[in-house]
Amino acid sequence: MTADTTGVQTETTSASETNTTTQTSSNFIKTIINEDLKNNKNGGRVQTRFPPEPNGYLHIGHAKSICLNFGLAKEYPGGKCNLRFDDTNPTKEDVEYVDSIQEDVRWLGFDWENRLYFASDYFEKLYGFAVELIKQGKAYVCSLTGDQVREHRGTLTQPGKDSPDRDRSIADNLDLFARMRAGEFADGTYTLRAKIDMSSPNINMRDPAVYRIRRFHHHRTGDAWCIYPMYDFAHCFSDMLEGITHSICTLEFEDHRPLYDWFLDQVKVPCHPQQIEFARLNLSYTMMSKRKLLELVKTQTVAGWDDPRMPTIAGMRRRGYMPESIRAFCEAIGVAKANSMVDMGLLESCVRDELNKHAQRIMAVVKPLKIVIENYPEGKVEEVDGINNPEDPTAGSRKIPFSREVYIDQDDFREVPPKGYYRLSPGKEIRLKFAYYITCQKVIKDEKTGEIIELRCTYDPASRGGTTADMRKVKGTSHWVSAQHAVEAEVRLYDHLFSTPNPAEAEDWKSILNPKSLEVIHNCKVEPGMRNAVAGTRVQFERTGYFCVDSDSKPGKPVFNRTVGLRDTWAKIEKFQKG
RNA sequence: UGGGACGUCGCCAAGUGGUAAGGCACCUGCCUUUGGAGCAGGUAUUCCCAGGUUCGAAUCCUGGCGUCCCAGCCA
């Protein structure tokens, strides 16, 4: 929810009193746009674009750009944001990616309406601009090989040398360029280059390539072209053709801005978009390079682009993240020009925050420990009322079966309780949430291994529902599942894919893969209502974490992905105690 | 030692000459049938460093230091 143009925040009518009106914070791009608006620079228009190359799945870094570009369009009256595929390199691109990208942008909650564009739609016009450049003597066909171009380019501290073809006649350039398009030359034999300045301190201005010959089937234009424009040339003209006012990109393109402006300055154009650069997102413990993510997929290090450990939008969706969480995260991190590394904890906090408001609570025991309640009648079954979501009264309640034998989590019992532990231990009383108080009477162990296999307890019949008339304090509360009613489930626990905070720095990412990034647990016990849970359903396992039903689930055999754990104060205390 | 950027609390980040927002994390209490959530409070005498201008500087000037990006016929 955004503030309206008068600056008055919209009142929420939501039943929960949570404040969902967020004052979107200021950033340098808004300052620029405000200034432009004040000066009526683009006739009061604000038009941005999100320009992905369809060569991989979108990741959380793209989400930052999507939220920025579409968010700006939403925030300014009449603002628009286009979705444009920057598909100028057919060797790396694929329709699988153009489809997934659209799905992901939509899922994130953004709409490009009828403004879906492809740079490849502009190939004919782009060719025309190139011809125009040649006619003005500002571009030439160069026959240098890749190695020779590199040698001629000079270095960071030394100027380059002119190509021997630099002064080719306009007529010859026109002829050669037409023949390049016609397919008369082999790949790599010629390029079209802009004639700028081989001694420029900005290497991008040293006669950059504009077109290269590449016989490769394009996912949209098929085999219509064998020459393809370079990014610098295609991007600025695409922006111009769409009437983009603010062309927002990442920091590494800062050096390209003079070139962006140069191209647009050479031809007569109706508008000249302004390129603005911001710092891309870096997230601790994750890798954002599309090349490396593709490698993870190809080597089957992960199960696919949508593996819940991947930083992709598809992965996060499968993991159980809500689009609202990702948007909140992108708002929280801000937009600036300083290179930075955002703590994964912030993302997780945004994920919990949203799920806390919406996820239904259920009883689920991930690592079961059996309890027999000796004074509870055999064969008796009661139904207790479970509150579905304490944060949302409208979510109501449900009936949960209770019986003589129940499972609790192994973590909720300690034979020798450490200091400060107030869960179950021999002789101690705790509450089984929504049900009864129980007291541990006996610990049964495997004679050979010494492993605790069962607990014998007694219950207080007067504590039904979880309170007693004497109002005695029972601090510990455990979740539980009735043994005879339990549904067996598979649970997948995820941890960081990488074991170091900045995987991008590693010389070999394979060496820093976290071997415990996925832990699969079978024979988990969940309450009967989850028997045929629909894939994509997000729930909270009481006291444990948020989980999402995975698409691998079968009827009667649900599979849950742990989206994120609950904040665990006790784990922190215990960790501190152990040093 | 070419060019382009950036340096404000542990991590992000506002601030644009008038006396350091906010979020995450952290620390106190309170509350609690989730050791969850919620509520209340606390945490930068100081903005990379050093000089200077000014009544007044994170903001302006000068000089340092540090970090990032650029030598694809990738985007």
* Separation CA A41–CA A30 (nearest Å): 14
* Separation CA A265–CA A245 (nearest Å): 16
CA(A407)–C1'(B1) in Å? 71
Evaluate if residue A23 carries a pLDDT over 80.
Answer: no
Whether A92 CB is under 7 Å from strand B: yes
Structure confidence at residue A25 (pLDDT): 81
* Separation CA A26–CA A335 (nearest Å): 9
Going from the N-terminus, what domains does chain A have, and what CATH number goes with each? 2-282 (3.40.50.620), 289-358 (1.10.1160.10), 361-486 (2.40.240.10)
Which nucleotide comes closest to A257 if you measure CA to C1'? B4
Structure confidence at residue A24 (pLDDT): 74
Calculate mean pLDDT across residues A539-556.
98
Whether A34 CB is under 7 Å from strand B: no
CA(A23)–C1'(B55) in Å? 36
Calculate mean pLDDT across residues A65-86.
98
Structure confidence at residue A20 (pLDDT): 32
Evaluate if residue A9 carries a pLDDT over 60.
Answer: no
CA(A353)–C1'(B27) in Å? 22
Calculate mean pLDDT across residues A124-150.
98
Whether A194 CB is under 7 Å from strand B: no
pLDDT, tens digit, for every residue of A482-496?
A: 999 999 999 999 999
Question: Please, which contacts does A162-170 make with residues 24 or more away whose CB atoms are closer than 8 Å?
Answer: A162/A198, A162/A207, A163/A193, A163/A198, A163/A207, A165/A140, A165/A141, A166/A140, A166/A142, A166/A195, A166/A207, A167/A140, A168/A140, A168/A141, A170/A134, A170/A135, A170/A137
Asked which of A14-28, A63-77, A347-361, A410-424 is least confident by mean pLDDT, the reply is A14-28
Residues 6+ apart with CB under 8 A from A133: A139, A194, A210, A266, A267
In three-state secondary structure terms, A362 is: strand
Task: Confirm if A101 and A52 have CB atoms less than 8 A apart.
Answer: yes
CA(A103)–C1'(B10) in Å? 37
Which window residues (70-89, chain A) lie with Cβ within 7 Å of strand B?
86, 88-89
Q: Would you name the residues of A annotated as active-site residues?
A: 53, 280, 290
Which nucleotide comes closest to A576 if you measure CA to C1'? B26
Which window residues (36-55, chain A) lie with Cβ within 7 Å of strand B?
51, 53
- Strand B: which nucleotides have any atom within 7 A of a protein Cβ? 1-8, 10-16, 21-27, 33-38, 67-75
- What is the separation of C-alpha A189 from the centre of its chain, rounded to a whole number of angstroms? 41
Evaluate if residue A17 carries a pLDDT over 70.
Answer: no
Mean per-residue pLDDT over chain A, rounded: 95
Whether A251 CB is under 7 Å from strand B: yes
Whether A109 CB is under 7 Å from strand B: no
How would you label A169-185 residue by residue, b for 16+ Cβ within 10 Å and e otherwise?
eeeebeebbeebbeeeb
Whether A338 CB is under 7 Å from strand B: yes
Nearest to A17 by CA among A357, A354, A264, A297: A357
Q: What is the ipTM of this complex?
A: 0.97
Whether A292 CB is under 7 Å from strand B: no
Structure confidence at residue A577 (pLDDT): 85
Evaluate if residue A14 carries a pLDDT over 50.
Answer: no
Evaluate if residue A462 carries a pLDDT over 70.
Answer: yes
Which nucleotide comes closest to A361 if you measure CA to C1'? B34
pLDDT, tens digit, for every residue of A191-239?
A: 999 999 999 999 999 999 999 999 999 999 999 999 999 999 999 999 9
CA(A251)–C1'(B7) in Å? 16
Q: Which run of H or E residues covers position A85? A: strand A80-85
A458 bridge partner residues? A439
Structure confidence at residue A18 (pLDDT): 28
Q: How confident is the model at residue A96 (pLDDT cuts 50, 70, 90)?
A: very high
Q: How confident is the model at residue A507 (pLDDT cuts 50, 70, 90)?
A: confident
Whether A231 CB is under 7 Å from strand B: yes
Structure confidence at residue A13 (pLDDT): 29
